[in-house]
Amino acid sequence: MNEPLVKTVPASSAEFFERARARLRFDVPPGLSDPNIVPPSGDPGTDRMLQIIAREQPVRPAAVLIPVVDHPQPTVLLTQRSAHLNDHAGQISFPGGKIDATDASPLDAALREAYEEVGLKPEFVDPIGYLDLYGTGFGFRILPTVARVRPGFKLTVNHSEVDDTFEVPLAFLMDPANHQVHSKEFRGMTRSYYAMPFAERYIWGATAGILRVLYERIYLS
């Protein structure tokens, strides 16, 4: 979690999508389902935690959609998970979930989950490519799909999974000045995590971590 040498934010949606298409592909990393391959996080404490989790828990492959809405000033569509869920109740998240055996690919899983959770129809979604694999302390291996979303969609929220949806300016999320670094203990080790508070929304954990990876891939690579 080193500070970047270059600090920049997207000037326009066209610039962001051009950069994303040049940097992202649809190659599925083997670590999505192989417990012997632990996704690196860049934080020694988190890396150690993921190694321990990989030995103790089964890998849980998952896919999420990073829906970048193509407004003149682009936004990212996020959800607030329902408070009664077993995993990550009430937290800010991307549309997505576990990859089912019937899903042809992680992309298909992400599109299916986005439609099931918030009613985002696939015809509004232009997938661009996969981001880096992201591991969590619950055993999830999350493969995010970055996508351009055409404005004009209407959402239908499935309240059994999602309480609310909202959009955050991409420029805010891609500005490293808004990337707070916090720490917590895991079995006597200190691990770091990102948080990106926006208005009354507290974006943190895996969602903030994936957004940080997006920033590094698109603007620092």
- Whose structure tokens read 């509004």? 124
Please report the pLDDT score of residue 5 as a whole number. Answer: 46
Tens-digit pLDDT profile for residues 166-206: 999 999 999 999 999 999 988 888 999 999 999 999 999 99
Please report the pLDDT score of residue 82 as a whole number. Answer: 80
Please report the pLDDT score of residue 87 as a whole number. Answer: 56
Give the pairing of strands 140-149 and 60-69: parallel
| Helix (H) or strand (E) segment spanning residue 84 | none
Please report the pLDDT score of residue 119 as a whole number. Answer: 97
Tens-digit pLDDT profile for residues 125-169: 999 999 999 999 999 999 999 999 999 999 999 998 899 999 999
pTM: 0.93
Domains, the chain, with CATH or none? 13-169 (3.90.79.10)
Given a cut of 70, whether residue 90 has pLDDT beyond it is no
Q: Mean pLDDT over residues 101-107, rounded?
A: 97
- Residue 160, Cβ neighbours under 10 Å: how many? 10
| Helix (H) or strand (E) segment spanning residue 11 | none
Dihedral, 111, 116, 121, 127 alpha carbons, nearest 10: -10
Given a cut of 70, whether residue 95 has pLDDT beyond it is yes
- Alpha helices by DSSP H, listed for 76-204, are 106-118, 170-173
Tens-digit pLDDT profile for residues 1-50: 544 444 556 557 889 999 999 999 999 999 999 999 999 998 999 999 99
